[in-house]
Amino acid sequence: MVKEDIGTEAKLCLDYFHDLYLATTGCKPTIYGARDMKILKTLLKNYDIEAVKETMDTFFDYPRADYTLPRFMSRFDVLYLRNKRQAEGR
Looking at residues 65-86, what average pLDDT do you find? 93
Domain that holds residue 68: 3-88
Give Cβ neighbours of residue 22 (< 8 Å, ≥ 6 apart).
Answer: 28, 29
Give Cβ neighbours of residue 64 (< 8 Å, ≥ 6 apart).
Answer: 71
pLDDT band at 85 (very low <50, low <70, confident <90, very high): very high
Q: How many domains does the chain have?
A: 1
Question: 26-55, pLDDT tens digit by residue?
Answer: 999 999 999 999 999 999 999 999 999 999
Please give the DSSP secondary-structure letter assigned to residue 65.
Answer: S
Cα 11 to Cα 20, 31, 72, 83, 84: the distances in Å are 14, 12, 16, 23, 24
